[in-house]
């Protein structure tokens, strides 16, 4: 653990600032002149000059950066070139969809990964262990868009159990919503399940060896109770904190999963923006995900310190 | 674990660490299996012109979407091209992307990590903050953004993946450097008066090679999936050059009529990535005996 | 895990069974891509017109025989070759309660003419001004006689917007459009859905049998098909030929196939900015070689199962303006190579092909790439989302552009704006005095036979210069649930909601 809690919180400020600088610089990789693109069909030089002034494009770079940062802090992420819609609106519309998907994916990952990891640890070096580790490795190695396509082939086309694509919001029809999101959530959660399984296994192995567990065993508690009460509780700590870190994997995976299942979420937003050559949206997505990730990492660190009493003193 | 080490350490001291590692590696069937598959893929990719039955770009308007047969072991695609040949040539794109991206990532990240770990102080703080900022963004999203700005092509995809993967290499190299720098002989070398860069080159770098190598192998696996992902989205290898990812993209349209178009390229990605992961895991266990039990 | 899945499956079945018992009243339509701005003055996309069919009524409409029928207008007459008098339908309301009258019509048409960024202006450029005769009569005075003018009023140029709403919203009208169509705007989530709700005071309300319409863009052809098969959408405006067999096999679905009005072709940059300064853009022999390298019949066979028609003209074969003598040349790689040699082009000739991002069009681009390679062309496929590709082409940032045009009832609608000097959709910036003169002449003439002869002469010139290489004439293939009754397949491909109902 790096330093105290207060130190940890203070550390994210320079990190976040650096993130904004990086994202701002990304903007200057953008091909095309934003002003002439916004001017549209007329290409009137006067209009273009006017737009440049409006967008502060004629000022020096650091000034532009501060202006842009100021806007961002006030919630103004700029406008989409394609839809002329505020990017903040697009984010507010699409992010919840991806978050719903990610939450479901994480639940599925925990439901699969943790029990499997526990069994693998408890039955260490047995057939179960090898099987679990093998399946876990296979899960990590499967490209999730391929898994998605194969699942669609099997479950939707061959068996006809679930709709192959599309998305119904939870608020509209919870049954249809579940039907449209369960496959993508499974695909998304699949890789995380594998990672969770490995970490649960090694955390369980470590805690099963520890003194307080041996003491509990010596006291005569049944094996099952030992596992449940002590080992599992100790093992869940790294697992829970790992969850926040895996948000990055979830968001990356969401890009592909949403593409395969045609889900209008955050991931699909950036892919569509790329083919729209809508660079402000690309930039906005990068900024939002990075900020989310940094904050979630911080939350994970805080959680870790809070849960693990032995670290509080540090 | 700790009690059992005393006697064997003395006996093993006579063999070099590399030999020990190799023996441990070869004792694991999964690692060996993975290595065989990796070598197989590399061979196929290198010898693609000789191994592929047909020209992967040779369209044939009469052979559209034919199922696997003796003539075309993996069938033909929507433009009449032989899928097997395309999978074989696709191996070139994927493996090249995997290796080159990792070379870029390592080439940038490892020196940065060694510098940060060795120099410490302000340099370390600055570099670590920059790396934190870069790692803040989910890998694929940053890769997509970069590929979007640079323009879609295999080279740009490799650059995008390399740049996005560099921060993790930096972290790995930095952590390993810190470990090694604290060891006795490095401190001794410094105390004697050797210039830092010399100490770094002669003592630190060779000793951080194991963890960096392990990470590099696993990173190749990750890079292969990343290239396939970018190509799947249309941002990597451009047509008509084959890539496993772009083949999967085209396959989506014909899922009901020609499922083999989706099965084979995806299986290829899966096998290649699995193989590299097995080798990486095997290397990790072989080179770092402190990691208890199996993986 | 499996028990969970089975439970979910049961829930789904139960849910859908329940849904069938009580009709939902919502019509789900899948579009091939997302519409651009929902403002009739600023809109450019084909799918946007499909949405407008539910949202904004027009002065006139066309029927299945391409005859002009009244919609917001009740009738018309030409008081002289330059003056069109339009009589409006009485008692029509806009979706915000405003009355649809001559003032509103004048406002809308003036808006089409004067608003910055208007894409309707070039369509009705012959209009001089609009006069209000009385609350239900307007007079449109043209600068010069134009026989195709009336047909422009059967599309977006004839769409009338609510004046007060448009005035207040200005450029943001697209975010909440208010018109006089059967359904009013509820919400729009970009790249996801456009939701419209029944407008009870619609003038033709008895013919509307749905409470809501939801348009969903689904760029992937297999996704559209899968959704149709699963019942999540009721109608798909474009089923690609490779999916036709699957729809035919499914007894719960049916197809409506009609001849379309438009074409698919490659628009070549011959004068639009720096990117025209290439052998491909400067020398027509290079373009002719490119055309000769393409086997249209094989292309259509591979990509579209032979369902579409290879062509060399902008108008479809069943149009009265079609010139039967102008047939596409068969593939001739040897002659193509010879032409390239004559032109002194260094091989391979690089051609950057701007390609809209739909799977079938991408495949067509790949086929063209492969065919052209044999003649010595190195085609690079540049994929871009459709609406963005229109912007790119406009800015001249392309060499060749695989573009479709949905087509208009009158041949002028397929030709004038694309080939006449300086016109808005002339992305290639082609400029030829003979062609200009012939196009102007054909507008001034009313007789179909005479016009066709003029077009024949124009084709002869254009076939040499090749500003556009016409490739094939598509068909409208609409897939829908078998329970949907009353669908009228009109060649313009629009999904008209009047008379459409779900059988119980």
Structure tokens at B247: 């083949």
3-state secondary structure of A214: helix
Which pLDDT does position C16 carry in this prediction? 43
Does residue C311 sit in the same domain as residue C390?
Answer: yes
- Average per-residue pLDDT in chain B? 84
**How far is the C-alpha of A217 from the C-alpha of C307, rounded, in Å?**
75
Structure tokens at B150: 């640079």
Q: Which of B144, B145, B232 sits opposite A145 (nearest CB)?
A: B232
Task: Identify any residues that bridge with C382 across adjacent strands, giving them in sequence order.
Answer: C354
pTM of the model: 0.82
For C385, nearest residue in chain B (alpha carbons): B234
Which pLDDT does position C121 carry in this prediction? 87
Which pLDDT does position B256 carry in this prediction? 77
Segment C468-475 shows an average pLDDT of 95
Tally of domains within chain C: 3
Segment C250-275 shows an average pLDDT of 93
**Higher pLDDT among residues C9 and B68, named by residue:** B68
Segment C258-287 shows an average pLDDT of 93
**How far is the C-alpha of A77 from the C-alpha of A273, rounded, in Å?**
15
Cis peptide leading into residue C58 (ω within 30°): no
The verdict on A84 touching C (C-beta cutoff 8 Å) is: yes
pLDDT-wise least confident of A13-27, A31-45, C316-330? A31-45
Which pLDDT does position C402 carry in this prediction? 96
**Higher pLDDT among residues B101 and C422, named by residue:** B101
Q: Which of C222, C246, C363 sits opposite B252 (nearest CB)?
A: C222
User: Among candidates B166, B172, B160, B161, which has minimal Cα distance to B109?
Assistant: B166
Does residue C105 sit in the same domain as residue C140?
Answer: yes
CATH number (1.20.120.1810, 3.30.70.360, 1.10.3720.10, 3.65.10.10) of A96-311 reads: 1.10.3720.10
Q: Which of B140, B228, B251 sits opposite A252 (nearest CB)?
A: B140
Residue whose entry in the numeric block shows the structure tokens 């479809």: C316
CB of B95 within 8 A of CB of B224?
yes
For B147, nearest residue in chain A (alpha carbons): A274
Using a CB-CB distance cutoff of 8 angstroms, which residues of chain A are in contact with residue C189? Answer: 93, 264
Does residue C467 sit in the same domain as residue C365?
Answer: yes
CB of B41 within 8 A of CB of B278?
no
Sequential DSSP letters for B140-186: HHHHHHHHHHH-SSHHHHHHHHHHHHHHHHHHHHHHHHHHHHTSHHH
Last residue of a domain, one of C139, C166, C193: C166
Segment C434-444 shows an average pLDDT of 91
For B1, nearest residue in chain A (alpha carbons): A209
Does residue C313 sit in the same domain as residue C297?
Answer: yes
User: Among candidates C5, B272, B154, B169, which has minimal Cα distance to A143?
Assistant: B272
CB atoms within 10 A of CB A137: 21
**Higher pLDDT among residues B136 and C301, named by residue:** C301
Q: Which of B141, B234, B293 sits opposite A124 (nearest CB)?
A: B293
CB of C243 within 8 A of CB of C475?
no
H or E stretch covering C472: strand C468-473
Residue among C302, C372, C389 with most chain B CBs within 10 A, to mutate: C302
Which pLDDT does position B247 carry in this prediction? 92
Which pLDDT does position B99 carry in this prediction? 95
What Cα–Cα distance (Å) separates residue C68 from each residue in A271, C87, C372?
A: 42, 14, 42
Torsion of CA A88, A92, A93, A98, to 10 degrees: 120
- Please give, rounded to a whole number of angstroms, the shortest distance from the CA of C56 to a CA of chain B: 34
Read off the pLDDT band of C155 (50, 70, 90): very high
Segment C247-259 shows an average pLDDT of 93
Read off the pLDDT band of A304 (50, 70, 90): confident
Structure tokens at B170: 């930096």
Which pLDDT does position A231 carry in this prediction? 65
**Higher pLDDT among residues B213 and B12, named by residue:** B213
**How far is the C-alpha of A107 from the C-alpha of C258, rounded, in Å?**
49
pLDDT-wise least confident of A16-20, B78-82, C412-416, C467-471? A16-20
Which pLDDT does position C3 carry in this prediction? 46
Q: Is the pLDDT of residue C4 over 80?
A: no
First to last CA, chain B: 16
Does residue C103 sit in the same domain as residue C147?
Answer: yes
Contact criterion met (CB < 8 Å) for C298 and B61: yes
Does residue C347 sit in the same domain as residue C457?
Answer: yes
- Please give, rounded to a whole number of angstroms, the shortest distance from the CA of C447 to a CA of chain A: 35
Which pLDDT does position B144 carry in this prediction? 85
Which pLDDT does position C10 carry in this prediction? 41
Q: How many interchain CB pairs under 8 A, B with C?
A: 46
Which subunits have 3 or more CB–CB pairs within 8 Å of chain A?
Answer: B, C
Segment C114-119 shows an average pLDDT of 86
Q: Domain with C382 in it: what CATH number?
A: 3.10.105.10
Residues of C with CB under 8 A from a CB of B: 220-222, 242, 246, 298, 301-302, 357, 359-360, 362-363, 365-367, 369-370, 380-381, 383
Boundaries of every domain in chain A: 96-311
3-state secondary structure of C301: helix
Q: Is the pLDDT of residue A213 over 70?
A: no
Read off the pLDDT band of A309 (50, 70, 90): low
For C221, nearest residue in chain B (alpha carbons): B253
Which pLDDT does position C17 carry in this prediction? 39
Longest dimension (CA), chain B: 76
The verdict on A164 touching C (C-beta cutoff 8 Å) is: yes
Contact criterion met (CB < 8 Å) for A85 and C190: yes
Q: Which domain holds residue C89?
A: 60-166
Q: Is the pLDDT of residue A5 over 70?
A: no
Read off the pLDDT band of C108 (50, 70, 90): very high
Which pLDDT does position C379 carry in this prediction? 95
Tell me how far the alpha carbon of residue C479 is from its chain's centroid.
18
Which pLDDT does position C293 carry in this prediction? 96
Q: Is the pLDDT of residue B199 over 80?
A: no
CB of B269 within 8 A of CB of B224?
yes
Which pLDDT does position A235 carry in this prediction? 66
Segment C354-372 shows an average pLDDT of 91
Which pLDDT does position C13 carry in this prediction? 42
Does residue C356 sit in the same domain as residue C442?
Answer: yes
Interstrand relation of C349-356 and C400-405 (parallel, antiparallel or unpaired): parallel
Handedness of CA C64, C70, C72, C76 (dihedral sign): positive
Q: Is the pLDDT of residue A217 over 60?
A: yes
**Higher pLDDT among residues A236 and C461, named by residue:** C461
Does residue C293 sit in the same domain as residue C422?
Answer: yes
**How far is the C-alpha of B239 from the C-alpha of B252, rounded, in Å?**
16
Which pLDDT does position C26 carry in this prediction? 93
Which pLDDT does position A312 carry in this prediction? 47
Q: Is the pLDDT of residue C474 over 90?
A: yes
Does residue C104 sit in the same domain as residue C197?
Answer: no
CB atoms within 10 A of CB A7: 10
pLDDT digit string (tens) for A74-124?
888 887 776 677 889 888 888 988 988 988 998 898 888 888 888 888 777
Does residue C469 sit in the same domain as residue C480?
Answer: no
Which pLDDT does position C1 carry in this prediction? 46
Residues of B with CB under 8 A from a CB of C: 57, 59, 61, 64, 78-80, 152, 234, 238-240, 250, 252-257
Does residue C133 sit in the same domain as residue C277?
Answer: no
What Cα–Cα distance (Å) separates residue C259 from each residue in B195, C281, C494?
A: 81, 33, 12
Read off the pLDDT band of A212 (50, 70, 90): low
Which pLDDT does position B259 carry in this prediction? 87
pLDDT digit string (tens) for B225-249?
999 999 998 888 888 889 999 999 8
Which pLDDT does position C52 carry in this prediction? 97
Which pLDDT does position A300 carry in this prediction? 76
Find the DSSP H helices in chain A.
Answer: 5-27, 34-39, 45-54, 61-73, 87-122, 127-141, 144-151, 174-209, 211-219, 223-226, 232-245, 247-261, 266-275, 279-307
pLDDT digit string (tens) for C182-212?
999 999 987 788 999 999 999 999 999 999 9
- DSSP-derived letter for residue C421 is T
- Please give, rounded to a whole number of angstroms, the shortest distance from the CA of B235 to a CA of chain A: 9
pLDDT digit string (tens) for B270-286?
999 999 999 998 888 88
Structure tokens at A243: 């969850």
Using a CB-CB distance cutoff of 8 angstroms, which residues of chain A are in contact with residue C37? Answer: 84
Segment C109-128 shows an average pLDDT of 89
3-state secondary structure of A56: coil
Segment B111-127 shows an average pLDDT of 86
pLDDT digit string (tens) for A137-188?
888 899 989 999 888 888 877 777 887 777 777 777 788 788 888 999 999 9
Contact criterion met (CB < 8 Å) for A143 and B225: yes
Structure tokens at C166: 């448009």
Segment A275-280 shows an average pLDDT of 79
For B30, nearest residue in chain A (alpha carbons): A134
**Higher pLDDT among residues B73 and A31, named by residue:** B73
Task: Identify any residues that bridge with C475 across adjacent strands, giving them in sequence order.
Answer: C259
Q: What secondary structure, in 3-state letters, does A137-166 show? A: HHHHHCCHHHHHHHHHHHHHHHCCCCCCCC
**Higher pLDDT among residues B200 and C179, named by residue:** C179
Using a CB-CB distance cutoff of 8 angstroms, which residues of chain B are in contact with residue A283? Answer: 145
- Please give, rounded to a whole number of angstroms, the shortest distance from the CA of C298 to a CA of chain B: 7
Segment C415-421 shows an average pLDDT of 92
Q: Domain with C487 in it: what CATH number?
A: 3.40.190.10
Which pLDDT does position B2 carry in this prediction? 45
**How far is the C-alpha of C380 from the C-alpha of C280, rounded, in Å?**
13
CB atoms within 10 A of CB C81: 13
């Amino acid at each position: 653990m790096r330093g105290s809690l207060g130190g940890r919180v203070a550390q994210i400020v320079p990190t976040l600032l650096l993130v904004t600088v990086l994202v701002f610089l990304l903007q200057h990789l953008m091909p095309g002149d934003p002003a002439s693109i916004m001017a549209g069909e007329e290409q009137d030089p006067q209009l273009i000059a006017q737009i440049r002034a409006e967008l502060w494009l004629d000022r020096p770079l650091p000034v532009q950066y501060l202006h842009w940062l100021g806007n961002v802090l006030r919630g103004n992420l700029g406008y989409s070139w394609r839809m002329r819609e505020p990017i903040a609106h697009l984010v507010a519309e699409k992010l919840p969809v991806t978050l719903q998907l990610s939450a479901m994916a994480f639940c599925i990952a925990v439901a699969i990964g943790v029990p499997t990891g526990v069994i693998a640890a408890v039955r260490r070096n047995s057939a179960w262990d090898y099987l679990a580790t093998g399946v876990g490795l296979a899960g990590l190695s499967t490209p999730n868009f391929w898994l998605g396509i194969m699942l669609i082939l099997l479950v939707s086309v061959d068996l006809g159990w679930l709709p192959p694509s599309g998305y119904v919001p939870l608020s509209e029809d919870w049954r249809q919503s579940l039907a449209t999101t369960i496959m993508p959530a499974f695909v998304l959660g699949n890789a995380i399940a594998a990672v969770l399984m490995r970490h649960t296994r090694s955390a369980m192995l470590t805690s099963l060896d520890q003194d307080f567990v041996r003491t509990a065993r010596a006291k005569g508690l049944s094996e099952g109770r030992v596992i449940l009460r002590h080992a599992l509780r100790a093992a869940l700590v790294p697992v829970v904190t790992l969850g926040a870190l895996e948000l990055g994997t979830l968001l990356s995976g969401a890009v592909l999963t949403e593409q395969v299942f045609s889900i209008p979420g955050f991931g699909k937003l950036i892919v569509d923006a790329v083919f729209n050559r809508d660079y402000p949206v690309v930039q906005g997505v990068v900024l939002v995900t990075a900020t989310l990730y940094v904050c979630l990492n911080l939350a994970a660190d805080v959680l870790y310190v809070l849960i693990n009493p032995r670290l509080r003193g540090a | 674990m700790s009690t059992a080490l005393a006697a064997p350490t003395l006996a093993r001291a006579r063999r070099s660490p590399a030999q020990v590692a190799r023996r441990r590696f070869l004792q694991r069937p999964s690692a060996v299996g993975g290595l065989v598959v990796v070598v197989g893929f590399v061979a196929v990719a290198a010898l693609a012109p000789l191994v592929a039955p047909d020209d992967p770009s040779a369209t044939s308007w009469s052979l559209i979407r034919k199922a696997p047969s003796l003539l075309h072991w993996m069938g033909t695609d929507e433009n009449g091209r032989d899928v097997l040949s395309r999978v074989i040539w696709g191996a070139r794109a994927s493996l090249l992307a995997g290796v080159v991206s990792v070379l870029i990532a390592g080439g940038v990240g490892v020196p940065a990590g060694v510098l940060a770990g060795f120099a410490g102080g302000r340099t370390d703080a600055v570099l670590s903050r920059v790396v934190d900022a870069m790692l803040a963004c989910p890998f694929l999203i940053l890769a997509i953004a970069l590929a979007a700005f640079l323009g879609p092509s295999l080279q740009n995809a490799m650059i995008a993946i390399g740049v996005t993967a560099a921060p993790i290499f930096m972290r790995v190299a930095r952590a390993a450097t810190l470990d090694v720098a604290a060891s006795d002989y490095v401190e001794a070398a410094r105390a004697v008066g050797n210039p830092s860069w010399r100490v770094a080159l002669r003592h630190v770098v060779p000793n951080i090679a194991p963890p960096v190598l392990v990470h590099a192998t696993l990173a190749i696996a990750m890079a292969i999936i990343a290239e396939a992902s970018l190509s799947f989205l249309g941002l990597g290898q451009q047509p008509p050059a084959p890539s496993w990812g772009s083949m999967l993209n085209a396959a989506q349209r014909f899922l009901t009529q020609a499922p083999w178009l989706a099965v084979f390229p995806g299986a290829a990605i899966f096998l290649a990535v699995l193989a590299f992961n097995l080798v990486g895991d095997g290397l990790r266990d072989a080179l770092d005996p402190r990691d208890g039990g199996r993986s | 895990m499996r028990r969970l899945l089975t439970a979910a499956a049961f829930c789904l079945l139960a849910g859908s069974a329940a849904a069938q018992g009580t009709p939902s009243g919502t019509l789900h339509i899948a579009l091939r891509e997302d519409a651009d701005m929902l403002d009739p003055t600023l809109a450019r996309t084909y799918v946007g017109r499909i949405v407008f069919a539910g949202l904004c009524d027009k002065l006139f409409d066309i029927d299945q025989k391409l005859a002009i029928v009244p919609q917001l207008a009740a009738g018309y007459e030409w008081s002289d070759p330059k003056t069109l008098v339009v009589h409006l339908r009485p008692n029509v309301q806009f979706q915000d309660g405003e009355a649809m009258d001559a003032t509103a019509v004048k406002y809308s048409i003036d808006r089409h003419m004067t608003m910055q960024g208007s894409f309707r202006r070039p369509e009705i450029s012959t209009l001089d001004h609009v006069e209000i005769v009385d609350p239900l009569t307007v007079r449109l005075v043209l600068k010069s006689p134009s026989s195709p003018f009336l047909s422009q009023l059967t599309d977006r140029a004839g769409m009338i917007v609510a004046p007060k709403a448009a005035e207040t919203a200005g450029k943001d009208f697209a975010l909440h459009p208010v018109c006089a169509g059967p359904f009013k705007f509820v919400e729009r989530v970009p790249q996801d859905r456009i939701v419209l709700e029944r407008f009870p005071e619609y003038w033709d309300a008895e013919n509307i049998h749905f409470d809501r319409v939801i348009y969903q863009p689904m760029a992937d052809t297999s996704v559209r098909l899968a959704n149709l098969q699963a019942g999540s959408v009721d109608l798909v405006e474009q089923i690609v030929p490779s999916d036709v067999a699957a729809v035919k096999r499914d007894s719960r679905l049916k197809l409506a196939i009609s001849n379309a009005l438009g074409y698919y072709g490659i628009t070549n940059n011959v004068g639009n900015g720096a990117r025209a300064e290439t052998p491909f853009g400067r020398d027509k022999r290079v373009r002719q070689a490119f055309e000769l390298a393409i086997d249209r019949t094989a292309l259509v066979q591979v990509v579209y199962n032979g369902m579409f028609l290879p062509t060399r003209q902008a108008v479809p074969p069943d149009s009265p303006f079609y010139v039967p003598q102008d047939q596409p040349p068969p593939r001739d790689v040897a002659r193509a190579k010879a032409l390239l040699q004559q032109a002194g082009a260094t091989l391979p000739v690089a051609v950057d092909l701007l390609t809209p991002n739909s799977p079938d069009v991408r495949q067509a681009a790949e086929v063209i790439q492969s065919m052209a390679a044999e003649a010595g062309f190195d085609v690079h496929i540049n994929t871009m989302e459709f609406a963005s590709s229109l912007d790119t082409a406009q800015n001249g940032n392309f060499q060749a552009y695989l573009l479709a045009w949905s087509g208009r009832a009158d041949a002028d609608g397929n030709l004038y704006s694309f080939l006449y000097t300086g016109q808005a959709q002339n992305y290639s910036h082609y400029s030829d005095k003979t062609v200009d003169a012939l196009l102007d002449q054909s507008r001034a003439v009313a007789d179909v036979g005479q016009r066709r002869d003029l077009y024949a002469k124009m084709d002869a010139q254009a076939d040499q210069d090749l500003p556009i290489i016409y490739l094939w004439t598509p068909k409208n293939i609409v897939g829908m649930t078998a329970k949907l009754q009353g669908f009228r397949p009109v060649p313009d491909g629009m999904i008209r909601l009047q008379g459409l109902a779900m059988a119980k």
